[in-house]
Amino acid sequence: VIEEGRPLLGLVNYIHLNPVRAGLVQLEELRSYGASSYPKFFDAEPHSTLVRKQFLGALEFPDSPTGMGEYAKYLKLAEENDPTERDELARKYCQGWSVASAEYRSELQKRYAELEEAEDWGGKEVGELREAKWGNALEALIAERGKSLTEAEREPKSAPWKIEIARELRARTTATNKWIAKKLVMGHPTRVCNLIRGNVV
């Protein structure tokens, strides 16, 4: 997960939260869960493979007990499902899922784009990275056809070039019909599915 000193934040969070999402332990008890690497980050001298200093540095947290306390809050925000509570925690703890620079976020998206993603990867952070990956693929496909998103708004929902792009996105990525329908202005997600299958004229 750590490469050249740059942690893939969303994936690290996903790994740390796996026991919680699997119902093996409560978030408040995660620090005591021995089967996770999470407690080991709190060691006075964590194993060198954890690269805690670089990891916390990417989040702009200090390499100290205080920094790990801030990361614990960060994880709590990542796992909160209630929108109202999440907003409240966001105001209290941070300014979003990535508090690093715009350049770092861009680099993170590039690195994620090179990964072969799994269907069961989840969480808000990974979802945002995944949609960025879909967006890059969409931009490339539109450019190949000499089109634009502005034209997508003007042209019919079932324009042939839109259907071609939708079909390729579904074949090459894990982009959902809902996301494709919104980006290409193709109507209801079910319509996208039928257009791809050739069931709508």
The DSSP result for the chain, as a single string, is -EETTEE-HHHHHHHHHHHHHTTSS-GGGGGG-TTSSGGGGGSSS--GGG-HHHHHHHTT--SSHHHHHHHHHHHHHHH---HHHHHHHHHHH-SSS--S-HHHHHHHHHHHHTS---TT--SHHHHHHHHHHHHHHHHHHHHHTT--HHHHHHS-TT-HHHHHHHHHHHHHS---HHHHHHHHT-SSHHHHHHHHHT---
Q: What is the pLDDT of residue 7?
A: 42
Which tokens is 114 given?
A: 């090179």
Pairwise CA distance, residues 10 & 8, whole Å: 6
pLDDT at 4: 42
- Taking the C-alpha atoms of residue 53 and residue 34, their distance in angstroms, rounded to an integer, is 21
Token pair 């808000």 is found at 124
Q: Are 165 and 158 in contact (CB under 8 A)?
A: no
User: Cα(135)–Cα(118) distance, rounded to whole angstroms?
Assistant: 18
pLDDT at res. 172: 85
Residue carrying the six token digits 């005591």: 32
- Give Cα 177 distance to the centre of its chain: 18
| Low-confidence residues of the chain: pLDDT under 70 | 1-9, 78, 80-127, 199-201
pTM for this model (two decimals): 0.44
Q: Which residue has the tokens 């709590």?
A: 76
- What tokens were used for 112? 């994620």
CA distance 173 to 100: 27
Note the pLDDT of residue 98. Answer: 46
